[in-house]
Amino acid sequence: MIVNGKAIAQKIKSSLKEEISKSGKKIRLAVLKVGKDPVTAKYLEVKKKFAEAIGVDVRIYEVSVDISNNKLREKLSEIVHIEENTGVIVQLPLPEKINMQYILDAIIPEKDPDMLSSRALGKFSTGKSRILPPVVGAIKAIFDENKIELKGKNAVVVGAGKLVGKPVASWLIGEGATVSVIDENTKNPEDYTKKADIIISGVGKPKIIKGDMVQDGVIAIDCGTSESSGQVVGDIDPDISKKASIFAPVPGGVGPITIAMLFKNLIELAK
């Protein structure tokens, strides 16, 4: 079965719209955007559309691409302290010269729907957070939708990055799965993937997980995006859908749900 991320995101969108309408609260997402990258602008447009559909105001703060680390941190801190801003995110990626974590740590957990500050991640990893990192929330929504029980499952997470690998592995362990994390340093990765009940990949390298690397009936969740011949592709070869019991592809799988989860977090923080 191929996951229809847009359909799951649509369900979440409808329930969030109803919740906001009933609460009568004014909710605003502040977005700090560095420079004028067209790809970044495209992602931002998708978030704005989602926000408009559910009744959330989006305020974009643009700064020049040649801003210094300290000036960017000051600017973000200023945005965080504006009372009307319910939540604050930084549109990634940032220019290479910018120290990403130093910047993100200016966001307080109470206003961090993306959960990328050290304090928000710390609360999540110790089980003290009311919300989940959006990508984790998206994967959970797919499992909930398909009534997947994680306890006792053998899960392989491909990549140990900050945005996908680390938070996903931490969450899976908390749910009672047996978890292996593999990366470019892992010898014979297929030794792990062939035994996996669940594979979740977030590396951003085209089609690194092939059909002959997985067992029949695997649950394959693709969270990696990259470009190949001008097209957005995932880490997992779409051919895997022939063997998988559930396959969340790129594009159209986890992506739309992740945006829905960002706004779900925002509304939760507003409470």
Which range of residues forms the domain containing residue 148? Answer: 134-254
Q: What pLDDT shows up at residue 107? A: 98
CATH of the domain at 84: 3.40.50.10860
Same domain, 205 and 243: yes
Positions at the binding site: 159-161, 225
Number of domains in the chain: 2
Q: Is residue 46 part of a domain?
A: yes
Same domain, 197 and 152: yes
Q: Which of 210-219, 220-229, 239-248 shows the lowest mean pLDDT across its residues? A: 220-229
Same domain, 103 and 138: no
Check whether 39 has a pLDDT greater than 80.
no
Q: Is residue 209 part of a domain?
A: yes
Same domain, 91 and 151: no
Q: What mean pLDDT is predicted for residues 208-236? A: 92
Q: Is residue 42 part of a domain?
A: yes
Q: What mean pLDDT is predicted for residues 234-241? A: 95
Residue 79 neighbours by CB under 8 Å, 6+ apart: 30, 32, 61, 85, 88
Q: What pLDDT shows up at residue 41? A: 84
Say which DSSP state 28 is in. E
Q: Is residue 265 part of a domain?
A: no
Same domain, 58 and 99: yes
Instruction: Give the C-alpha separation, 207 to 226, whole Å.
Output: 10
CATH of the domain at 245: 3.40.50.720
Same domain, 142 and 181: yes
State the DSSP string of 240-257: GGGT-SEEE-TTTSHHHH
| pLDDT band at residue 101 using 50, 70 and 90 as cut-offs | very high
Positions at the binding site for NADP(+): 159-161, 225
Same domain, 102 and 185: no
pLDDT digits (tens, 9 = 90+) for 188-204: 999 999 999 999 999 99
Check whether 165 has a pLDDT greater than 80.
yes
Same domain, 241 and 140: yes
Report the chain's terminal Cα–Cα distance, integer Å: 36
- Name the more confident of 99 and 225: 99
Q: Is residue 17 part of a domain?
A: no
Q: Is residue 174 part of a domain?
A: yes
Q: Is residue 125 part of a domain?
A: no
Q: What pLDDT shows up at residue 113? A: 98
Same domain, 34 and 141: no
Same domain, 104 and 140: no
Cα angle, residue 134 at apex, residues 129 and 139 outer, rounded to 5°? 105
Mean pLDDT, rounded, of the chain: 95
Same domain, 156 and 199: yes
Q: What mean pLDDT is predicted for residues 228-255? A: 93
| pLDDT band at residue 36 using 50, 70 and 90 as cut-offs | confident
Instruction: Give the C-alpha separation, 10 to 7, whole Å.
Output: 5
Same domain, 90 and 153: no
Q: Is residue 219 part of a domain?
A: yes
156 neighbors 191 (Cβ within 8 angstroms): no
Q: What mean pLDDT is predicted for residues 108-115? A: 97
Place of tokens 């993306």: 114
Query: How many residues can be counted in the chain?
Result: 271
| pLDDT band at residue 118 using 50, 70 and 90 as cut-offs | very high
Within 37-68, residue ranges assigned H as helices are 38-54
Residue 212 neighbours by CB under 8 Å, 6+ apart: 190
